[in-house]
Structure 1
Amino acid sequence: MEFELDLSPSDESINEIRDGLVEHNSQYLNGIERNKIAYYITERGKKVAGVTAEIFGSWLLVNFLWVDKELRGSGMGSELMAKLEAYAKSKGCMFSLVDTFSFQAKPFYEKLGYECQMSLEQYPVSHARHYLTKQMA
């Protein structure tokens, strides 16, 4: 056996490791669906806001929420989250998870009922990354 450091691993190499982990995990998570979803707001055919997420078992995992800078503060982000959470609840989700940087939207999520569970300080260097959850059921 050899140890090999790869400072620029290919997608193929990364997927090989990921596939090994997925195979191991499948005995524990087999049958639990994981589905990608998104809500968008469009204007004249162009996305001006949106949220992407996954439903994984009874959890909604929020990946990205973005509102065009011209429209921030208009309530669109809150409305997107409400629609996303309502859909997730209709699919059996009971909980939601989101992470955000200190310069992003922690107070926004807290206003929506999310509670900070953990913060990583000095992440990646001089900011913080916050992990927030919400019980939806």
Structure 2
Amino acid sequence: MSVTITTTPTEAEIEIIRNGLREHNFPHLGHVYRTDIACFTEDEHGVKTGGLYGEIFGHWLMVKFLWVDKNRKGRGLGSDLLLQAEAFAREKGCQACLLDTFSFQAKPFYEKLGYEVQMILHDHPVSTERYYLTKSLV
């Protein structure tokens, strides 16, 4: 047996790993509801000005990305996106939401919306903190 390390894995190699883990997890989590979720804001010309991408997995909404165009910040778009995603997730049976943010990003924004810090990774990836926050949706 040999171990190979690469910094340029192919999509096929990543899929082998992903499928192997899914096969292992299936007896335990195969019945759990899982779906992607995305929502967007658009201007009057149909140009996307913000978006949220995440995943519903069982009772959890896991927000992976939340973005608002830099020229549109401070207008409530981020709050609208997150609150709409939370409402959708609640309808799908979610009881909580998990997301993360760096120290230079939006921690106070999330706290204002009821999120609480659960864990901090210091010096991640370098010279910043990464915060993991959750919020009850019930």
* Alignment TM class, shorter chain as reference: over 0.9
Deviation at residue 18 of structure 1 after TM alignment: 1.5
Residue 95 of structure 1: aligned partner: 96
Q: Share of identical aligned residues, percent? A: 51
Structure 1 moving runs of 4+ over 3 Å: none
- Which residue matches 1:24? 24
Question: What is the Cα deviation at residue 13 of structure 1?
Answer: 1.2
Q: How far has the Cα of 1:101 moved from its partner?
A: 0.8
TM-score by length of 1: 0.95
C-alpha deviation, 1:7, in angstroms = 3.4
Unaligned runs of 5+ in 2: none
Structure 2 residue matching 1:18: 3-state secondary structure: helix
Matched, 1:105 2:106: yes
Match of 2:126 in 1: 125
Give the AA of the match of 2:33.
E
Q: CA RMSD, aligned part only?
A: 1.0
Amino acid at match of 2:39: Y
Which residue matches 2:53? Answer: 52
Q: Which whole-Å CA distance do the structure 1 matches of 2:49 and 2:12 have between them?
A: 34
In structure 1, what residue type is equivalent to 2:8? S
Q: What amino acid does structure 2 have at the position aligned with 1:116?
A: V
Aligned length: 137
Matched residue, 1:61: 62
Q: Deviations over 1:107-127 (max 9, x none)?
A: 110000000000101001111
Q: Distance in 1 between matches of 2:93 and 2:4?
A: 44
> Shift of the alpha carbon at 1:8?
2.1
